[in-house]
């Protein structure tokens, strides 16, 4: 079955409605074979928007803690961490149902694999904040832009290879073990 004709295994009526709408648009534009990549760009854009909105709100709402020992080196650690959590929650849901269409029953295992794969990008974000904003005193929004580009690339690779890998899912048995 072609990617555009896949029916989501779950997600409810709203998700199924959105799939029908998306499939109709992609079929009309003759872009069905690129559905995964197009959906990743859309979901990635939404995830990035959530990340940036939460980050920006926190930059303006939280007090400046840069005078405290830890925050001298990691001036935006709270902002990066909270915006990361919000973005990861959205990205998991959207990636599961719209990008990789992998609504397998072991959702908690898949969720923990997703969060674990995204921890790498949180570490990258905090390291980037340390270097760009803490040491080099770069504007936090310019630093965030640079870091965001790297994060999007790494997120796609880790999601595709480790979290929503259809070959790995097919190899897994019901008891959670994998066949070589």
pLDDT, tens digit (0-9, with 9 covering 90-100), for 109-135: 888 888 888 898 899 989 998 999 989
Residues 6+ apart with CB under 8 A from 143: 128, 129, 132, 133
- Pick the closest to residue 157 from 121, 130, 125 (CA basis): 121
Q: Which residues of 47-64 are buried (b: 16+ CB within 10 A; e: fewer)?
A: bbebbbebbeebbeeeee
Mean predicted lDDT score pLDDT of the chain: 82
Helix (H, G, I), strand (E, B) or coil at 178: strand
Per-residue confidence of the chain (180 residues) as pLDDT tens digits? Answer: 444 444 445 678 888 898 899 999 999 999 999 888 899 889 988 999 999 999 999 999 998 887 888 888 888 889 999 999 999 999 988 888 888 776 555 567 888 888 888 898 899 989 998 999 989 999 989 999 999 888 888 887 887 787 776 665 555 544 455 444
**Joined tokens for residue 178:** 């994998």
* Percentage of the chain modeled with pLDDT above 90: 34
Q: How far apart are CA 98 and CA 100, in angstroms?
A: 6
């Amino acid at each position: 079955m072609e990617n555009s004709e896949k029916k989501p295994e779950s997600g409810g009526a709203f998700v199924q409605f959105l799939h029908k709408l998306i499939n109709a648009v992609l079929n009309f534009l003759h872009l069905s074979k690129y559905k995964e990549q197009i959906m990743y760009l859309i979901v990635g854009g939404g995830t990035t928007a959530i990340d940036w909105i939460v980050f920006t709100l926190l930059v303006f709402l939280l007090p400046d803690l840069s005078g405290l020992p830890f925050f001298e080196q990691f001036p935006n650690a709270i902002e990066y961490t909270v915006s990361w959590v919000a973005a990861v929650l959205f990205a998991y849901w959207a990636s599961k149902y719209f990008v990789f269409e992998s609504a397998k029953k072991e959702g908690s295992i898949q969720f923990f694999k997703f969060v674990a794969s995204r921890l790498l990008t949180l570490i990258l974000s905090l390291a980037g904040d340390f270097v760009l904003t803490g040491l080099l005193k770069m504007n936090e929004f310019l630093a965030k832009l640079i870091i965001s580009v790297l994060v999007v690339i790494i997120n796609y690779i880790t999601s595709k290879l480790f979290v929503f890998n259809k070959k790995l899912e097919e190899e897994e048995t019901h008891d959670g073990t994998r066949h070589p």
